[in-house]
Structure 1
Amino acid sequence: MNKYEIRTNQKKEAIIQSALELFREKGYTSVSINELAAASGVSSVSIYNYFGSKEGLVKECVRILLRETTQAVERLLNEGIGFKEKLMQAVALCTEMPNKRMEHYFSKEAIDDQVFVELFSKSTSEIRMDILGAFIESGREEGAIDASISTETVLEFLQAVGCMQNQWGTASEYRSKVGELYKLMLYGLIGR
């Protein structure tokens, strides 16, 4: 890596760390690009050059926050367990961890910021769909997923399942329904 690349990476890292700190404290709407630039010691132009927009910066922050979850799910692909078990664990990780990270990492002000929550959820959903797409392909290779159903349709179905889970208001409601939902997802109404 040359000096320019090193400096660029340092600037990006400073922006991301400042953004995480400011978004954690204030949410999204209350933080300006100028405030992000001042906190990270760069110009506002640098933020636009590296991330395209404040929304792009949120997406990168989410990717970093979910790196641990992403790595855990990717390790699942290589585990010596059956596809159904892998898929159930992956869906659970992709559903539970982002919500836990959000509640643990961000302040009440950030969580109350509807725009921030929507951007966080959208970015999380995109990452989740990329991960689950790899699982679907793996399931096809193992013969566990019907090859006549497109990956796109399976992903849309899983998004609908995620929307249902987002409707559940409490942790106890989640715990009581998640097993039934996974069974319905894997075996359908008729079962096997």
Structure 2
Amino acid sequence: MNGFEIRRENKKKDILNAALQLFSMHGIKNVSIAEIAKKANVSQVSIYNFFQSKENLARLAFFNMMDGIMSDLEALVASDLSFREKVNTMHFISSEAGNNFNEIFNQIEFINDPIIQNFLDEYGKNKTVPLFMNLIKQGKLEGDLHSEISSESLLIYIHAINKALHSNSSKKVQSDLGKLFFYGLFGPSN
């Protein structure tokens, strides 16, 4: 990349970061392009040139956030940690991401956007499922997951727990679901 292209990419990153910060503090609807431009130290015209609209900027900020979370999760799964350590850390990363997601993007019109839905479907197939399949394989090898339960069944179970954890449940319910995930109905073995 030449100097112009580098400056252009840096400006786009500054806009995305400013938008994400402002969206997290005030919600998408309550943030104007002018506020984003001021925070990113760019002109409003630059934002429209790069992103066409606030809605498209919000989508791209969401995609960018998802890519950052996925990078963290991929590095975690590729690490030398045990299965249990990975799952504990993944739970923390997912909880933090879920809180940010709910505050910023959990608006009906945003989450029901066909472009967002398509992105989530593709992301699930191409990124999330392979990541969890690798984690499940490790869990079975280390004896933490029952070897006779199919990986598909485990994936469905993980998805159901994850969905419940990211619902509007109380912190107590979320904590209890985490305990159920790790220890089952009978609790930790002595």
The TM tier, using the shorter chain, reads: 0.5 to 0.7
Corresponding residue for residue 30 of structure 1: 30
Structure-2 separation of matches of 1:125 and 1:101: 20
Q: 2:50 aligns with which of 33, 46, 50?
A: 46
- How has the CA–CA distance of structure 1 residues 33 and 60 changed in structure 2, closer, same or farther, with 3 Å as cutoff? farther
Matching residue's letter, 1:77: A
Equivalent residue number for residue 12 of structure 1: 12
CA distance in 1, matches of 2:151, 2:76: 24
The alignment's TM-score, normalised by the length of structure 2, stands at: 0.61
Aligned to 2:21: 21
Q: Is the 8 A contact 1:28 1:115 kept in 2?
A: no
Cα–Cα, structure 1 residues 148 and 2, in superposed 2: closer, same or farther, change >3 Å? farther
8 Å contact from structure 1 (residues 76, 86) kept in 2: no
Cα deviation code 1:117-146 (max 9, x no counterpart): 848x97899878835632422543775476
CA separation in 2, counterparts of 1:127 and 1:94? 17
Q: Any unmatched runs of 5+ in structure 1?
A: 188-192
Query: Shift of the alpha carbon at 1:21?
Result: 3.3
Provide the C-alpha distance between the structure 1 equivalents of 2:132 and 2:48, rounded to a whole number of angstroms: 39
Q: Deviations over 1:10-59 (max 9, x none)?
A: 2212211321233133211233556645653214021149x992342231
Q: Give the equivalent residue in structure 1 for 2:171.
A: 171
Q: Tell me what 1:190 maps to.
A: none
- Quick one: structure 1 residues 2 and 45, their matched pair in 2 at CA, closer, same or farther if it must change by over 3 Å? same
Offset from partner CA, 1:148-189 (integer Å, 9 cap, x none): 9466x65444222222223463222322332113334xx9xx
Structure of higher RCO (CA pairs closer than 8 Å, 6+ residues apart) = 1
8 Å CA contact 2:133, 2:151 repeated in 1: no
Cα gap change, 1:101 to 1:90, in 2 (>3 Å): same
Judging changes above 3 Å, is the alpha-carbon distance between structure 1 residues 4 and 76 closer, same or farther for their aligned structure 2 residues? same
**Coordinate RMSD, CA, aligned:** 4.6
Q: Using the aligned pairs only, state the percent identity.
A: 15
Change (3 A) 1:35 1:134: same
**Aligned equivalents of 2:9, 2:94: Cα separation in 1:** 31
Q: Aligned partners of 1:21 and 1:10: how far apart in 2?
A: 16
Given residue 165 of structure 2, which amino acid in structure 1 is its aligned partner?
Q
Report the secondary structure of 2:7's partner residue: helix
Distance in structure 2 (CA, Å) of the matches to 1:88 and 1:16:
30
Structure 1 CA distance, aligned partners of 2:99 and 2:167?
A: 16
Provide the residue aligned with 1:57 in structure 2. Answer: 60
Q: Say which SS state the counterpart of residue 29 (structure 1) adopts.
A: coil
- Structure 2 unmatched runs, 5+: 186-190
